[in-house]
Amino acid sequence: MSARDAILAAVRANRPQGDHPLPELPIFPFAAEGGLVEPFLRNLEAMGGHGVEGGDIEGILRAQFPQANVIASAVPEYRGNRDLAQVSAPNDLADVDVAIVRAEFGVAETGSVLLPDTALTVNAVAYLAQHLVVLLAPDAIVPTLQEAYRRPEFHRHRYASFHTGPSATADIEGVLIHGAQGVRSLSVVMCPLKTGS
């Protein structure tokens, strides 16, 4: 018998007694009177992210990363100097200082942004870059993770990742370090989607 058939036969033979129906999932309310942007930004900051309420991308990049040499952009709002479409292997991106991408949506409850493969062009750019800047449309924020998982993205994309703040570790004595392996900082810029783009 193949391993597959043996395992399937064993789990069927050992099926636990009793009736265990699959529950319906209720949606629990999320208390946010003044809209979702404020709790989103607050929760993002608590996770070590940096929220920017708006402004021009050029100015934000210049102010935050004056030293940046290599900027890879996956958004029409900013022209970087590294074309992600021309990357032949992910490790070509090892020298990227700043990557700029657009999130599909945000989650107020946690301050997370969803970055699918199509938004990244090369998945690895979101981890190999030293810093990550994410554009998020203020009207693309859902209240909680429960609503987030009702969205279609999870059925469409081969890869999609919630980023909530930068790469972090406190594996040594509980001291928090940003930039454990991936990006050292994550900024989320509130930036409406341009109509037509």
Partner 1 sequence: MSGSEEPRRAEDGLPALLHEDLHTADDGGARGSGGERLSHGEATSRPLQPPAPEPQPRGAKLYHRKPVDHNEAAQRFIDAPRHAKMHDERLWDLRQKRDGQMHGLPEWEDLRELASTIKQHTLSNLGDYLEQFESQAKANGIHVHWARDGAEHNRIVHGILADHGARRLIKSKSMLTEEVGFRDYMASVGIEVVETDLGERIQQLDEEAPSHIVVPAVHKLRSDVADVFARELGTDPANDDVHYLAEQQREKTRPLILEADAGMTGANFAVAETGTFVVCTNEGNADLSANVPPLHIASIGIEKLIPRITDLGVFIRLLSRSALGSPITQYTSHFRGPRDGGEMHIVLVDNGRSARLGEPEFWQSLKCIRCGACMNTCPVYRRSGGLSYGATYSGPIGLILDPSFDRRRYSSLPFASTLNGSCTNVCPVKINIHEQIFAWRKVLAESHDIGWSKQAMMKAAGTVLSHPTLYRASIATAEGALKLLPDFMVANPLNSWTARGRAMPDAPKETFHQWYERTNGGKEEPS
Footprint of partner 1 on 104-143 (CB under 8 A): 109-112, 117, 123-124, 126-128
105-107 and 112-116 strand pairing: antiparallel
CA–CA separation, 197 and 192 (whole Å) = 11
CA–CA separation, 71 and 125 (whole Å) = 11
195 to each of 95, 191, 192, how far by Cα in Å? 33, 12, 9
Rounded least distance, CB 195 to partner 1, Å: 29
Footprint of partner 1 on 33-92 (CB under 8 A): 43, 45-48, 50, 89-91
Rounded least distance, CB 58 to partner 1, Å: 20
Task: Figure out which of the listed residues 57, 68, 140, 180 binds partner 1, where binding follows CB under 8 A.
Answer: 180
The residue type found at 32 is: A
Cβ burial of 69 (10 Å; 0-12, 13-18, 19+) is exposed
Interacting span for partner 1 (CB under 8 A) from 54-62, 66-74, 78-86, 145-153: 145-153
Q: Is 177 in the site for partner 1 (CB under 8 A)?
A: yes
Rounded least distance, CB 68 to partner 1, Å: 18
Rounded least distance, CB 145 to partner 1, Å: 5
Interacting span for partner 1 (CB under 8 A) from 15-23, 32-40, 55-63, 74-82: 15-23
Q: Is 145 in the site for partner 1 (CB under 8 A)?
A: yes
Q: Is 162 in the site for partner 1 (CB under 8 A)?
A: yes
**CB contact at 8 A, 57 and 68:** no
Q: 9 — phi, psi (to 5°)?
A: -65, -40
